[in-house]
Amino acid sequence: MNKVITNFSNYTDANLDVAGNSAVAALTGNTHFTFTGTELTALSTAQTAFHAKLAAVATGNTVAVIEKNDARNDLLTALRIIAIQVNLQAAGDLIKLQSSGLPMAGLPQHHLQSAPADLSVDNGNSGELIAKVSKSPVGDNGTVFAYSLASNTVSNPELWTLRPVTSHTVTVKDLIPGTEYKFSAAYKGNDDDDLVWAPPVSKFANK
């Protein structure tokens, strides 16, 4: 029988944030489901709290990490409770289940990629620049690097020169020595996933 998943414990923080937000948005005012208790309110409260605590972790503060983990556990519980209710009320109806904003069980899931957080660009040999990011926490399909001359760079990295690779580093050769270039990067998700680009990093190619 068709069901939505009820256990989100294997989700990364970023994907859990997306899943919680998607469920709240889809279930609010959804006429396919009736919540007689505080399930939906609890989910919305837990999602808001987790989103805020997740953003606070960027400070690197140990207390912020502990608070984020506590908020994560609260959101996992709230999602499980709401998902169980959705499965009970939908009784296998695919249209109702898909309207919940919760991912279906037993179907391939698209792993939403966040932007790489640690893009760096270093000099190689003359006319070479080496761009790298850490391995993606979601999947391992490699990285798309984008680069362009800083003097004529447009805002959208997808219009730059693209170098998709199966690793997380790329060496760009035959650049103009002494010239500034801008780089960005995005993790490769599934075929129909949008790329989420990192903030550009500028670097002069070695002479």
pLDDT tens for 52-96 read: 998 888 766 788 889 999 999 999 999 999 999 999 999 999 999
Q: What is the pTM of this model?
A: 0.54
18-42: average pLDDT: 92
Check residue 174 and give left, alpha or beta (phi > 0: left; psi -120 to 50: alpha).
Answer: left
In 3D, which of 87, 85, 56, 53 has the Cα closest to residue 71? 53
What pLDDT was estimated at residue 196? 87
154-169: average pLDDT: 91
Rounded CA separation 111/203 (Å): 31
What pLDDT was estimated at residue 12? 87
